Structure 1
Amino acid sequence: MNTLQINTERLLSFISEMAHIGAKSNGGCNRQALTEEDRLGRELFLTWCHAIGGVSRLDSMGNLFVRFEGTNPTKLPVLMGSHLDTQPSGGNFDGIYGVLAALEVMYTLNDTNQKLVHPVEIVVWSNEEGCRFTPAMSGSGVFSGKLKQSDIYQSVDDQGISYQEALIASAQMGTEECQSFPFSAALELHIEQGPILEAEQKSIGIVTGVQGMNWYQVTVSGETTHAGPTPMLMRKDPVQALMAILPKIYAKVSEYGEQARITIGKLTTIPSSTNTVPEHVIFSLDLRHPTQKVLDSMSKEVLNLCQDIPSIFNSNIEQLWASPAIEFDPRCIDVIRCASTQLNMDAMPIVSGAGHDSVYLSSLGPTGMIFVPCKDGISHNEKEHVEPEHLVSGANVLLHSLILLAEEKES
């Protein structure tokens, strides 16, 4: 049995030093994509990579690749990584952990003079968070061919700065065209961003896939009038229609079991005035399920309910976004399971409720993800916290998953 372990102090030091760049007063981080802070974070990361022989390059979307050669240059690379950009009030682990743990894996192999047969490339995907430029995961999306670079270049932030302008200003515009290339396998280590692993007292989540997600905007329209003179029975108040719709759609989603999700994150009235009956009620609808056929069926039934309103009202539904459910590569899943067993880790299969760059990568080649628990399931928040022992456990599973993949491919 291979008992190689990562260097705990060095991994925690990597994470701690990165947290200083864009640090916020409550312990979190603001290092949004293609800002000066993002550039400085990547510069620090590259300093560490170059110290052990990593060779870096940037593509035209700002995706950063650092290559470590293997013993056989004809072999396809194994990719590891995630992202270094954060939410405006983000934590110190979301994305960052996956990049820096991959770096620590390469340091550990370097310390012990171990060279893998396959080359390894650590990837830092650009604009994963999508909080400055939309959509999220745009770097990996263009890389996979699912998004168009020309469209992303035109995306602007709240100050009117375009993605392309920010690429140039932050010195992240690479000379290499952003396009996919063959790889042997891809591994992404990430915090769970949910409460399941902690509740189940498991240190490792073997991610089997990612939920499908459908986003809609629903508008229910009635008639605006003064709040005082118009009797209740004579009103065409769309809020009343909404009150009838909501219990039905929540009940419908519950029929699809515990893996089904519904979220209404935005709710707006127009006009929005205390003493005016609104003409329109607009609400967002986020529907999720790990099985695509189930998601399709659930979405259809929910949307039908949104249209099942009295004739005095009108409803309009606009689809904002659709991300299909995906299943990760069985071989990668098995390798992560074997590594967890080899290290005597308490592990369980889990489906990701959030989107990740690995969603796009899985359309190109064998892809797998590893989760570790975060306290109270909190993420996208300055309170985001991961216990050191879980950080170390995840990095060790990543290390041994990488070794097993290389050995398996060579054999």
Structure 2
Amino acid sequence: MSFYRESRLPVGNGWWEVVDSRLVVGRALQEIGFDQNTASNIETGVLRDLYNAIKVTIPIEFCEMKKLHLENLPNLRSFSSGNLVKWESLENVVVNQCPNFRKFGLGMIKKSQLKSIFIQGNEGQIIDIDNNMVAYLFEFLLLVKKLKELHIINVDVEELWDYNYPSESFCELENLSLINNNKFFSAISSGMIMRFKNLRKLTLDKCESLTEVFDLEDDNLDHKVHEILPQLEVLALINLIKLKNAWNKEPQVSFFPNLVYLYIVNCGNLQSLFSLSSIKNLEKLKILKLCKCDKIEEIISSDISEDEMVPIIFPELECLVMKDLPMLVSFYKQSRTLCWPKLNTVRVSNISKMETFSTGILVTPFLTSIYVTFVKKLWFGSLNNTISYMHGNPGKGKNLKSHYQGIGVE
């Protein structure tokens, strides 16, 4: 099915194309009686007319189409060969398992319409796109102001963010997923951080070269913004085997003031999660899940310059999950008071080196047990006592069945 008409010279059994072959045309003209000069003048004019005919196209308008979904098209390279298609109402683009797809050629898109883009390569096969291809693959983003979702899966894009994008591009983005990308060393540059004022969810999964999430290469960033990612609610860092730090340098301004859910799973090089000075930015954090991080030794890194008399408070945290952390020694090693006024659920498993949760005072008024399996709970009067019991009696808590005087297992 063709979406436009052109006048072109047919060649062979494939697509129509123009072949500039003076020998073929000139010889044919001479064979029917024209002299050489006349034949040359005729073939020059014919080919010029054919070339001009190629440029004559009839644009097709999809006035009501809101979603474009391309899936499992292994030979597809482009939707159209040029700027021939007008999309007056297009809101969502999905490209799934189209390994040779390199150019949308989407033509005219109303700036206020396109809201979500989903690009996925074949499962188990990563599409390797060089930097020259990136410009084509994301050419239509130059026209987009209201894009709210961008999901890129199984596509290697070494430099996703191009500083040549107009300043308004990505400013409305709310949901960003980068999954199974092997060339990123850092996911978000300082230039893009300033644009992501409306970003609510960020997911990074299987980006095997990623060593840091945010690259603050701009030394003046702290002077340009008052808050970093002020609307971010969900941050998921999963299967980032080389991740060492969230930042290449910690910002001096507020960040993540609205973060609610933080998931960190299988980040084998991560050694600590928060600096002490960053805790003040997590006042709205409700769920913290930390699993399968082989090198992490403490959740909050020690900072002796801080006043030890000031308590550390997680005012909204309700659920804490710590599983398969073989090197974890303590949540916080120093003797500061930790306050958890709303904490009611703690799940722990395979934290064999943790002798005590923290050396300081723990305030957990609503915590009455610790889950050691999905359903079984253990409690010995306090969070510290329970963790100490688990350390001294590895594996026993899961097998106990009695519950006595509020202390024990249920």
Q: TM-score, structure 1 length as denominator?
A: 0.23
Structure with larger RCO (C-alpha < 8 A, sep 6+): 1
Higher strand share: 2
Give TM-score scaled by structure 2 length: 0.23
- Hey, which of these two has a bigger chunk of helix by percent? 1
